[in-house]
Amino acid sequence: MGILDEDVVRVREAADIVAVISAYTQLRGSGRHWSGLCPFHGEKTPSFSVNPEKGVYYCFGCQAKGDAITFVRDIEHLDFQGAVELLAAKFGITLRYTDRNEGERRDARRKLQEALVAAVDWYHDRLMTSPDAGAARRYLRSRGLDRDEVVRYRIGWAPDDWDQLSRALKFPAKTLRDAGLGRESPRGGTNDFFRNRVLFPIFDAGGQPLGFGGRILPGAPPRRDGRPQAKYQNTPETSLYRKSKVLYGLNWAKDEAVRTNEIIICEGYTDVIGFAHVGLDRAVATCGTALTDDHVNTLKRFAPRLVLAFDPDAAGQAAAERVYEWEKKHEVEVAVADLPAGEDPADLSRRDPDRLRAAVEAAVPFLGFRVERILRAADLSSPESRARAAEKALDAIAEHPNEFVRDPYVIDVATRCRIDVDRLRSAVRSGKARVTPQRRRPVARRRADTAATEALRLAVAVPDEVLPLLAPVLFDQPQDRAAYVALEASGGDLHAATAAADPLVAELLTRLAVEPSSAEAGDVRRLLLRDAAQRVLSGLQRSSRTSDDFAGYAAVIGWLKGEIEAIGPDSVPDEERENELLLWLTARAEERHE
């Protein structure tokens, strides 16, 4: 299911990238080159460049790059389809979908969201004005929430009645059930799903409601069968609400998370509100489930550092292994805020806000938190107790797959437990197979301009003119060669080339697209030819020293020296001769790889 490829192309071509980006940052320039302050990171000197002819942008400061769709996706934190749909609406493009039923599904989704919006308003109004919500208002005040917070978070009240919401909203019964607002009554009709609960609306990142989390009031009567009512009740699984994916508070937390490169993860709705109360507006909470891979995949779009504001050891070794897997798979850093035992962030935010802020500020990497907790609780007064503490700490350290991460903690344990570090290293290695350390994707650096760089810049700007003059053999560096091959394979289509290329190559091509060039293609090609021929000449000269066919080598070496001299900086350009040399270099390279 998705948007037809040709419609994605239509949106990309119709979108005025300068107009799109100018809604977020001021751009100055004209023609092919515009620049301004990067909207993705703080800076005082403009490093953000836009090429409207190619429809791409590149930031030399943070390496943000892409086209209008990429920009909207990243700045608004949407998925690809959502970004295309937003731009299509802005520029008047009617979209078609690969699935003929997609239009019907989108219409059904819209109706569910309309019902949820109406429910959020109705429940909130009941909490604020209804006499039967008095106990709910007193409960919220007892948790420290004031009126402004209740209004901001649209907190509501579900009355203790069978169908007040269903009768008030007047949506079809099927819509209410599909939205998770109602359930089928044994006697026919629809009963309200939530009764006698304080409701916390759960929104997506864009602020659209997905469902609710309901909290029973303290002292609520038991169920008819005598069992106590569940403390929390969440919206059932629907087409909009997936508890393994949704996060409470993301719509409020996302901007601060992007600004600080950090997002706080807690366990309760009032915890999120408590963090905001002390000025930490970047907290989210899971909704009745443990943190999942889908949650982390969502959060990494907003921040690379995740701070856990709950006890991560409670779930044991399996949870630790998941954390390390997430760090590697999603390239995030997971840290832990060391909160006072038995006290949740919501209570701490009202009792000791400075302590809560300090805990987040002092959050340490996940493994560091576990090791510190073990050693802090241990008796280190005797050799026997120190050995036990070291063994327990090493068990935690050995779970981490990266030896480079493990070793500093091994050294720390050795120092504090007064045990030889090499013995501890040996113990860790024998207890867990050595794993090749994860290599993070390096950030492409701005290289000094070379002939290869200039050639690629020209090839991006005027591919029809420049690509036929070049060949892979002219590019000595693998990244440059891969960039040329990607451009050639795409017929000079920058978007197709970057989509098919390795991330580093795509970044290089995008950066070059926003850089001006004043070089002449012929001059650049001659320089590349000389460099390539000189590399071959050096190889031939080395081989000739140990070969029995010295005469054969001498003939080729003499000819190649003449060709290099003929295309020197002071020579008259000879396109036919240059083409013949390029063909010879290409053929020789192919022979050597057969």
> pLDDT by residue (tens digit) across 411-469?
999 999 999 988 898 888 876 433 233 333 333 333 345 789 999 999 999 999 899 99
Q: Indicate the pTM of the whole model.
A: 0.62
Q: Given a cut of 50, is residue 487 above it in pLDDT?
A: yes
**What is the CB neighbour count within 10 angstroms for residue 256?**
19
The pLDDT of residue 314: 54
- Where in the sequence of the chain do the CATH 3.90.580.10 domains occur? 5-90
Report the pLDDT value the prediction gives residue 315, as an integer from 0 to 100: 47
Q: What is the reported pLDDT for 127?
A: 97
For residue 145, what pLDDT is reported? 94
Please write the tens of the pLDDT for every residue from 207-266: 899 999 999 998 888 877 677 788 899 999 999 999 889 999 999 998 899 889 899 999
pLDDT classification of 351: cutoffs 50, 70, 90 = very high
The token pair at 8 is 């994605």
**Long-range CB contact pairs, 369-378, < 8 A, 24+:** 369/312, 369/335, 369/336, 369/338, 370/312, 370/313, 370/320, 370/396, 371/396, 371/397, 371/409, 371/412, 371/413, 373/313, 375/413, 375/416, 375/417
pLDDT value, residue 1: 57
pLDDT category at 352 given cuts 50, 70, 90 is very high
Q: Extract the tokens encoding 491.
A: 């017929």
Q: What are phi and psi of 486, to 5 degrees?
A: -65, -40
What pLDDT, in 10s, does the model give residues 527-549? 999 999 999 988 888 888 887 77
Each residue of 21-32: pLDDT tens digit? 998 888 988 778
Between these two residues, 392 and 568, which has the higher pLDDT value?
Answer: 392
> Which tokens hold the place of 35?
């620049």
* Residue 221: predicted pLDDT: 82
Q: What's the pLDDT score for residue 593? A: 58
The mean per-residue pLDDT over the stretch 265-289 comes to 94
Q: How far apart are CA 202 and CA 235, in angstroms?
A: 9
CA 147 remoteness from chain centre? 35
In words, the CATH class of domain 250-362 is alpha beta
98-137 residue pLDDT tens: 876 766 777 788 899 999 999 999 999 999 999 999 999 9
In the chain, list all ranges with CATH 1.20.50: 369-431
Other beta carbons within 10 angstroms of residue 262's beta carbon come to 20
pLDDT, mean of residues 297-320:
76
As a residue count, the chain comes to 594
The pLDDT value recorded for residue 7 is: 92
At 456, list the tokens: 């690629």
Q: Flag whether pLDDT at 519 surpasses 90.
A: no
Mean pLDDT for 341-348 is 88
Q: What is the CATH number of domain 369-431?
A: 1.20.50
CATH architecture, range 104-234: Alpha-Beta Complex (3.90)
d(CA 255, CA 207): 12
> Which helix H or strand E contains 526, and what residues bound it?
helix 521-544
The CATH fold assigned to 5-90 is: DNA Primase; Chain A (3.90.580)
| Mean pLDDT to the nearest integer, 88-97 | 87
Residues of each domain in the chain carrying CATH 3.90.980.10 = 104-234
pLDDT tier, 276 (very low <50, low <70, confident <90, very high otherwise): very high
Beta-strand relationship, 209-216 and 333-336: unpaired
